[in-house]
Amino acid sequence: MKHLWYIGSFLLLFFPALAQEESGVNLIIHAQKFKKGLYKSFAEFQNNSPSADGDLVIKTRSNAAQIYLLANRNELVLRDAYGQEHKVKNYWGYCDGQNIYVRDNGLNKIQELGFYCIYEQHGVQPSRSYINQADMTINSMNTPYRLKKLINILTGEILELSAYNLKKYILPQDPELLKEFRADRQRKDQEAYYIYRFNQRNKPLITTSGG
C-alpha cells in the first residue's frame, strides 16, 4: 500500500491533468466548450461552472450616455417570462456560450485566455471643467479611456497590463522571458505580446497535497 501511495504522488506531480481530475478542479482554460451563464464569483469562472442561467442579454448604452452621465458602456439584464428586463446585480462575469465577459466598469470581453487572461476595460473619466464663453457657464469634459488588465487564472488577482507589473510580478516566474523583455527596446509597445508568450510557455497547475 505504501508503494502505491508513492506511485500516486509521482503521477500527480508529473502529470498535471491527473492532478486536476483528482482535485475536482478543471480550469476553464482547458475547457473545449464554455458553459453559458452567470458567474457569481471568480471561482465559478475559473472552473467553467456558472451557477445561474436564463434569458441574459448585454444592453449597450449610447456614447452620449457614457460620456455625459459617466455611465458604464453596458449592463447585463435578465428578461422574465413577460419580456420585462431586470438589471442583474452582484455577479463576477458572464458567458454567452462563446465569449466570456468580466464585470469591471461594465462588461468587458476576455481577449486572451491563459495563465494571465487579458481584457480591455472601457470607461469614461471626468476631466477638468471649462468655461463656456457663450453663456459663461461652467461645463466639464468627460474623456473616454481604454485600459488593458490581466487576471491571474489561479488567484483571481487583477493587474493593469504595464511594464512595471510585467517586470515586478509576472515575468520573474519565467527568468528567460524576463531577460528578453528587459533587452527589448520596444517593450512598452509589446506588453500584450509578452503575456501571450508567457501563456504559451507556462501552464498553471493545480495539484493535491498528500497526507
**DSSP string for residues in 42-81:** HHHHHTT--SB-SEEEEEEPPHHHHHHH---SEEEEEE-T
CA–CA dist 46, 28 (Å, integer): 6
CA–CA dist 60, 57 (Å, integer): 10
From first to last of the 211 residues of the chain, give the pLDDT tens digit: 444 333 343 333 334 333 344 344 589 999 999 999 999 999 999 999 999 888 998 887 766 655 555 567 788 989 988 889 898 999 999 999 999 999 998 899 999 999 999 999 987 776 665 555 555 555 566 677 789 999 999 999 999 999 999 999 999 999 999 999 999 988 777 999 999 999 999 998 765 444 4
